[in-house]
Amino acid sequence: MASEWRKDLDKFLQEHMLAVSSVFAIISGFMIYVGMMGEFYSTSSLSPDLILDAIGDYDVFVFIFGLIIFGFSAYYLWLTKHYMDRFEEIISTSSKREFQKNWTEIEQIARYQLPKEYRKRVADARKKFGLK
């Protein structure tokens, strides 16, 4: 049961990692803002008083937790974008030799890092170059 749930979560994250990491970056950015305003600028007119009253003295923990989440989400956002750019670089080649040279890398990127549509593009490129 737990392993099936884990597989479903992995599939979901692989399909939607760009969106998930973007949402977490935005949420954690707001957490950083709230924590920073509560810890350093609590008397400012820009501070969210209602939220700061609700979290009380835990604003420093919101700030630290926001920094940690932002770090991870920014890393996954960058990593997903990096894999997308690398995939586009490899797939856009017109040389069969270059494509075969990078075949293992593009297969692993498409299978384990990017959504299903990229696997379909690899299959189309394989047909284009006459590979099995």
Which string of DSSP letters, residue by residue, matches 73-95?
A: HHHHHHHHHHHHHHHHHHHT---
92 close to 121: Cβ distance less than 8 angstroms: no
Q: Find the domain containing 69 and state its range.
A: 2-128
CA 61 from centre of chain: 24
Q: Is the pLDDT of residue 79 over 80?
A: yes
pTM of the model: 0.79
Domain count, the chain: 1
Q: What six digits make up the tokens of 34?
A: 């709230």
Q: Is the pLDDT of residue 31 over 90?
A: yes
122 close to 90: Cβ distance less than 8 angstroms: no
pLDDT of the residue at 75 = 96
The whole-chain average pLDDT of the chain stands at 90
